[in-house]
Structure 1
């Protein structure tokens, strides 16, 4: 740290100085040319003042080596590449205080009441202080951060450098997500298009709304929210596909004993290739492909969760639900005769849905019917009126 004169383009809204490479020229409300942040669109002003500086420039090479050695430290990959590009540019020293006359709130610099600690420095240090730094942080550190793309530089450049400066390891992982837009527009109080999550949870249910956000939320890019999309996803994937599958597979007409059925290996004899399924009985090559898909599902989902690709994990699960419904439709268990031993032998594996491993639930009594899993959502007249207004 040192005290020095600093000048540059300063964004008051973001409380930070921005280099020329992150600026663009726009016209303000009066038609005058001005400079704005490329990332946020906020206007910047040329500012010169005396601050305490952190020698960020000295950590360019250590930061580069850290990322080269840990290619998954920042994910998804597009954000990792963005940070590498930042490190290829000049990395000026970081102003870590502001003049108290201009910034009267905040933490005063010890021994210098004319300066206030830069808000992003004390905000980042909170990650350490909350876990007991400097005595009890060891069991929590290095940490995993989940951050929005607009604060990537603070977490992926400034914060790791500050940690290195005091001899601590950089974050273990920085998981980055993009933003939600509404009908193609950024959420804004002035536009009145800010989505109320509590209203959505009431309208779509907590599970329905959570599923939509995870299913449609792609970390690498901004995602668009609108009511009709929520209806389509929740109705088609939860109410119809998953809810319908549950009803079909637990109906008393095909499972009057209300027990978890046993799987019959004789119905699906072991083969090395699904193409060999021809001539082995009722099971087709498509059925064997379905079983293989079921067996690989847990590992696929775990891998996607580990990589913060939740939407891909849900894609796999949704595909499996569709395959299971197709399996049911092909074999029509509701038309099988339970009094025929051969058909009964085939019926149980159909509603068992074999996953490739011994199942601990075989023979157990199923729980009571507690109603519809997911109700279909309907467009309310109130929402239609609100949509017309927008």
Structure 2
């Protein structure tokens, strides 16, 4: 039996990688989703996180960026699912891939590439990657035996198993994490010398503490690397698995589905010819259940093939429903299409990104969605826009002027007492909104989109308090002084709304467009690089002052009725899975 040399070729350090991405480029990716069933909100959450990061980067004009997503269409699970559905694997993949493509497009995910691992170009890239591993001495053929989990497409060690009885009362072993049953399997496979990359992986992570975010997942991977790192089986006997890419020069073996799938991040940027323009400037957005594949196996495979690891791996946790894991058997799988129909696309985007905390599992239930969207979008943000642009308070329908004597510039909010008409709380609002764009950008950079939205919501609340505190509807327009103060209140409020609309574009693009259009903010005035707030407060001209507001005076976000939302979800829960396919 052939075995690799004891010392593999030295993997490239990030500083001496064989590929160098073009300046300022970034590839964002979701996992490619497994084509054995319809999409659920966990899939959508991954895609929305990546989409929001891409949209925010584009607002910053930070350089060329792409977002790739797609479908993992090979493997034993799909082969078995096709048999159970009475169809071929190719037909099943075509149907399910269509469901995912439509769901992501409906959700406004601005992907630039939708990869399918059944595509010839991807398969060619996988074969080339396999040859690179082989030629660099990273593969050998050996007899492998162990507990195999078909749903997870992987062998599991005893430490990740527990005893249980099956439906016939017979003892069996299942995965601790997923509860899926495992079966003892013994076969001859190609093995990847993963054990040789323990030290290089540790060095990579210690040199790049932001390589895996949030921090708890980074620490988790370091703990994995403190243990032994057994070699990885990277092929399956073709007699058992025909639905996959054959191993080059060995028709008895099929390439392991995870090796096949992970290479999509390279094939999408032109590997093996033109990937150097983008690689390794890539940020992978993945769920915690596939962390080991992305943070251990994938970087090791890349190093073995002579390529640098990805720049960052951004990890998120799962969604539960009323505290329970989503499951077909429980009938609690949440269909994203139903939710978008009930809450609106932007409403559901906002809920998932506002409530989803990457570090921990988050719970979904209809009443929670309705309460959040009514409170923060319909009442706080939408109500503020309606009140500050109402004909009764702004009959000229213009962006009002700002009066420096009413709201004089001060260096400290404590100085505000007794000056002009503005209060100390007003100066605190101005300081909070002025610092908001930088705070939001920092949160996006740190993969904390939920914190960015929380901070925006806090500022919206402050602005409502400002508006309510000064009661502009009670001011007398016939009095010159009161007219100046009224216009100043409205100017400050609209300036705040303009900042919120700009910052919310990555999360609720259609609603933000409606808000900014109402404020007469043109397409070329919506970026972050040139975003200014309350220019007149700093003695500079404001380009919006005196401008006619946009004509759309409709409701920004329609309030939701809880009873209807719950009723709709309960009806959808009774739709059989086969109808979804």
The two structures have a TM-score, normalised by structure 1, of 0.94
| Deviation string, structure 1 residues 82-125 (Cα, Å, up to 9, x no partner) | 11111111100111111122222211112222211111011111
Asked whether the equivalents of residues 292 and 356 of structure 1 are also in contact (C-alpha less than 8 Å), the reply is no
Asked whether the equivalents of residues 11 and 45 of structure 1 are also in contact (C-alpha less than 8 Å), the reply is yes
The residue number in structure 2 matching 1:232 is: 371
Cα distance between partner residues in 2 of 1:137 and 1:109: 23
The residue number in structure 1 matching 2:557 is: 374
Cα distance between partner residues in 2 of 1:360 and 1:352: 12
Asked whether the equivalents of residues 108 and 117 of structure 1 are also in contact (C-alpha less than 8 Å), the reply is yes
Structure 1 position 6 matched with structure 2 position 144: yes
Unpaired runs of at least 5, structure 2: 1-138, 496-532, 575-581
Unpaired runs of at least 5, structure 1: none
Cα distance between partner residues in 2 of 1:23 and 1:360: 65
Match of 1:110 among 234, 244, 248: 248
The residue number in structure 2 matching 1:313 is: 452
| Deviation string, structure 1 residues 50-76 (Cα, Å, up to 9, x no partner) | 211110011111111111111111111
Pairwise CA distance, 1:360: 2.3
Using CA pairs under 8 Å that are at least 6 residues apart, name the structure with larger relative contact order, 1 or 2. 2
Asked whether the equivalents of residues 22 and 38 of structure 1 are also in contact (C-alpha less than 8 Å), the reply is yes
The residue number in structure 2 matching 1:363 is: 546
Question: SS where residue 187 of structure 2 aligns?
Answer: strand
The residue number in structure 2 matching 1:160 is: 299
Alpha-carbon distance change, 192 to 260 in structure 1, aligned in 2, over 3 angstroms: same
Match of 2:320 among 181, 194, 198: 181
Structure 1 position 286 matched with structure 2 position 469: no
Match of 1:84 among 200, 217, 222: 222
Cα distance between partner residues in 2 of 1:26 and 1:276: 70
| Deviation string, structure 1 residues 2-45 (Cα, Å, up to 9, x no partner) | 11122222212111112233333444434555432232221223
Question: SS where residue 263 of structure 2 aligns?
Answer: helix
Alpha-carbon distance change, 382 to 257 in structure 1, aligned in 2, over 3 angstroms: closer
- RMSD of aligned C-alpha atoms? 2.0
**How do residues 33-182 of structure 1 correspond to structure 2 at under 5 angstroms?**
33-142=171-280, 143-182=282-321
| Deviation string, structure 1 residues 322-343 (Cα, Å, up to 9, x no partner) | 1000001110011111121211
The residue number in structure 2 matching 1:190 is: 329
Question: SS where residue 276 of structure 2 aligns?
Answer: coil
> Number of matched residues?
390
The two structures have a TM-score, normalised by structure 2, of 0.64
The residue number in structure 2 matching 1:243 is: 382
| Deviation string, structure 1 residues 211-231 (Cα, Å, up to 9, x no partner) | 111111111111111111111
Alpha-carbon distance change, 321 to 91 in structure 1, aligned in 2, over 3 angstroms: same
